[in-house]
Structure 1
């Protein structure tokens, strides 16, 4: 059977561009991609599959269309009734993640390696075994653990990871908790592969991978939220800067200080298009963005008259000029973002 999991990202009423989905999953962050990610409710999935091969992605989409689970048109792809039925009949508790937004907060590859290694080290310590084969070969993870142990103790590592795992897994779905622990390596316990776990549970390896990743990132957030834990230092090493890059933060500081777009361009010595894209991204991720700093009352009257059509997906910048109005693209896009946030609030 074709891999149906991407159907989850499509809608029966709203046409959506597959390219936007791929770019969101692989963490492409242009203003246009993020805007359409906002429109399609994809933003939580930024960086969810950073190494998703373009050809593989396109092949999956083509197969979903061939199966008539997705319907293609000039506007994009829509979920068909058959596709909706596939989701309803094939989804399990493991099919979709609960906290995709955590992919933006932690470097999963590094955190996974650190987590697996510190669980193994703690387990072997508890059994007083100092002669064992390290199952994880990630050199950075090994260096990080060794450096941490130079200023902390094996006893502390074992106690804190044991307590955290117990508390965290107690609050999880028991079936997902069992899946999670099946992959851990410890004294006399070799962690199972995704394929082995999938075979035992009767699900796909992809569902095992996504579920384990989701729980691992939730555990990172669980540890990070407890400031008294020394192993929080290991989590902090994997922390990502978040949705806004340092250069966007610099633009945001100037904008919040009352600087105009022209002044920010002069101060930062960047192109107008770059600064305007920074402001679009700020508005996308900050629902309380001060639109009045860019959009005047006159602008709002014009925009509301030209874009009376309630379906924001159908708005086109060219309509302003067609109706005899000259206005920068930034104002058009900020107005669309503002209205989108208004829809979400409603």
Structure 2
């Protein structure tokens, strides 16, 4: 059982959190960061936003092979709709959870979209400062995307003294935060940076230098990026590198359009007609908004008494499955939309069902 990959181990850990109430595809979509209404609901209802976008590069074919391997090893059972843990799988995860040192911070839902451009900006800034202060203009930039280089031009200091000051402040900002992390995580981040006469290492190279799999190196490196983003408020240059990248509310582009009309006072029917979409699609958008916005007027869609019934039932039944909850409150005027909206609101950032 010790020959499981790191990705397989995380799959089992997430599956244990979902309590056998979701499909294999649901777990795949969470780990790869698919922004669909169903996936967003899943991560909010089950409080697993930190797992979102952990392995965005995990191919469907490889995922299928690795989950089938878990089934053959009798760690999980899979049927057409749901995947659940078997006793040996639970034992494995119990042992893993008791010994594994998790990163200090990781939130793929909050920072998954910002992590890559933030890292590219920061890495290019460090490299350019290093070469400039060494008096060398001849080097290949670590990232050549036009938008990344344009950002750097906008903040680039004009004088050598300003460059020294920027480098000193940025160094202190990074050191202050990295010193609070486990050595292996600070190592992963530091050795990926490039500078004068030094080329940052790839994750594969870092994996070969440590006892960590490449997938775990990727996960822990991203966790450092998330940590820096989470603590950028009291910095100067980390905050500049994150400018316009982190949104207060993480919404899909199509939901943002619906929110625009909602803020103008349009009804669900109005928005569906204007956008030429099904009512159910607009309802999906409202569920997404409810999970992110503490000011969402849920009482306009679900009476407070019904909200309380739904929350109480979810707790009593110890489930987030819509069908189970609906069948448990047969005497109430409740439909699946009421349940979804209530679970999204109270299971998101504003409460815990």
**TM-score strictly above 0.5:** yes
Which of the residues 72, 93, 117 maps onto 1:66? 72
CA deviations 1:109-147 (Å, max 9, x no partner) are 322222222212222233333333434454543343234
Contact 1:25-1:47 within 8 A present in 2 as well: yes
1:329–1:186 Cα change, 3 Å = same
Correspondence for 2:19: 14
Give the aligned partner of residue 197 of structure 2: 188
Pairing partner for 2:4 from 2, 6, 16: 2
1:55-79 deviations in Å (ceiling 9; x for gaps): 1222222222222222334552223
TM-score normalised by length of structure 2: 0.77
Alignment deviations for residues 223-266 of structure 1 (CA, whole Å, 9 cap, x no partner): 3x137x25633321544574224553454466567654345546
Q: CA deviation at 1:215?
A: 0.7
Is residue 280 from structure 1 mapped to residue 282 from structure 2 by the alignment?
no
| Structure 1: unaligned runs, 5 residues or longer | none
Task: Return closer, same or farther for 1:55/1:163 CA change in 2, 3 Å cut-off.
Answer: same
TM-score of the superposed pair, with normalisation by structure 1 = 0.79
The 5 A counterparts of 1:217-232 are 217-223=226-232, 225-226=233-234, 229=236, 232=239
When the two chains are superposed, the root-mean-square deviation of aligned CA atoms in Å is 4.0
Secondary structure of residue in 1 paired with 2:84 = strand
Q: Which has the higher contact order (CA 8 A, sep 6+)?
A: 2
Alpha-carbon distance in 1 for matches of 2:264, 2:142: 51
CA distance in 2, matches of 1:300, 1:220: 35
Q: Deviations 1:166-197 (Å, cap 9, x if unpaired)?
A: 22212222332123212222223332222332
User: Separation in 2 of the partners of 1:282 and 1:316?
Assistant: 22
Matched residue of 1:203: which SS?
A: coil
In 1, the alpha carbon distance for the partners of 2:139 and 2:256 equals 46
Change (3 A) 1:168 1:292: same
Q: Relative to 1, partners in 2 of residues 1:318 and 1:78: Cα closer, same or farther, differing over 3 Å? A: closer
Q: 1:29 aligns with which of 23, 35, 44?
A: 35
Q: How does 1:255-334 map to 2 (within 5 A)?
A: 255=262, 260-265=267-272, 270-286=277-293, 289-296=296-303, 310-316=317-323, 329-334=336-341
Give unpaired runs (5+ residues) of structure 2. none
Rate the CA distance shift 1:87–1:258 in 2: closer, same or farther, 3 A: same
Give the whole-Å Cα distance in 2 for the aligned partners of 1:138 and 1:120.
15
The equivalent residue for 1:205 is 214
- Superposition pairs of residues 67-216 of structure 1, within 5 angstroms: 67-73=73-79, 76-87=82-93, 89=95, 98-101=105-108, 104=111, 106-149=113-156, 154-216=163-225
| CA contact 1:122–1:158 (8 Å) conserved in 2 | yes
Once structures 1 and 2 are overlaid, which stretch shifts more, 335-344 or 206-215?
Answer: 335-344
Conservation of the 8 A alpha-carbon contact between 1:94 and 1:207: no
**Is the contact made by 1:118 and 1:145 (CA closer than 8 Å) also made in structure 2?**
yes
